[in-house]
Amino acid sequence: MASERHYSPADRLLLQADAALRTLLPFSGPPTRPSPAILQTEATLDPETARHVAGLMRVNHTGEVCAQALYQGQALTAKLSHIRDAMEHAADEEIDHLAWCEQRIRELGSHTSLLNPLFYGMSFAIGAGAGLISDKVSLGFVAATEDQVVKHLDEHLAQIPAEDAKSRAVLEQMRIDEEQHSSNALAAGGYRFPAPVKFGMSLMAKVMTKTAYRI
């Protein structure tokens, strides 16, 4: 069996910098799976509806930027190697969501959020902090975050017109993946956060969604 490669702290910092660039630079993180949207026909949307859907997809893209940063921060400070590997694997899967959302935003004639670097930095710090506390808390934070993402996806699916099959296909597959990530984190020993903590996370998420929708 091949021996596990051990990275120095400097190596890990360089890997984190590379991950940040791949997350924040346009079209720099190629997906491992094709977008679910490619099987759907493009709908003709009026300008106002197209702007609204683009805003919703921009929010989802920023959410994936935050998820990437969260996972990368947790991987940097995880105490157990298998937890670190799980975080890095989850981050790789989220790259698909990033690419799918960005592609759909461009198709709708819009752009990703200009605030993504700020949200990335904040989420990375939160993830690293959770990892420093304990792997159990870190995994619990993943589960609670993914639960919030699923709620947002449900809200957005309710707003996207039925004829926009491309956007709906992307969000529906994202919802499946995010729900699985939450289940995996809890199954790995994640701490179930109490309702007051989840409520605080929900308030923070609302700030992100309102700003990313517009900027």
Count of domains for the chain? 1
Model pTM score: 0.79
- Asked if the structure places residue 40 within a domain, the reply is no
- Asked if the structure places residue 16 within a domain, the reply is no
- Is residue 163 a known part of a binding site? no
- Asked if the structure places residue 175 within a domain, the reply is yes
Residue 6 has pLDDT above 70, yes or no: no
What distance in Å separates the CA atoms of residue 164 and residue 118, rounded to the nearest whole number? 30
- Asked if the structure places residue 39 within a domain, the reply is no
Segment 39-92, tens digit of pLDDT: 899 989 999 999 999 999 999 999 888 888 887 787 777 666 666 666 666 667
- Is residue 97 a known part of a binding site? yes
CB 40 within 8 Å of CB 132: no
What distance in Å separates the CA atoms of residue 143 and residue 181, rounded to the nearest whole number? 7
Task: Say which CATH number the domain at 110 has.
Answer: 1.20.1260.10
Range of the domain at 107: 46-214
Segment 123-144, tens digit of pLDDT: 888 888 877 777 787 788 778 8
- Asked if the structure places residue 74 within a domain, the reply is yes
CB 128 within 8 Å of CB 69: no
- Is residue 94 a known part of a binding site? yes
- Is residue 178 a known part of a binding site? yes
* pLDDT at res. 180: 83
* pLDDT at res. 179: 85
* Biggest distance spanned by C-alpha atoms of the chain: 58
- Asked if the structure places residue 34 within a domain, the reply is no
- Asked if the structure places residue 142 within a domain, the reply is yes
- Is residue 102 a known part of a binding site? no
- Asked if the structure places residue 2 within a domain, the reply is no
CB 182 within 8 Å of CB 147: yes
* pLDDT at res. 1: 38
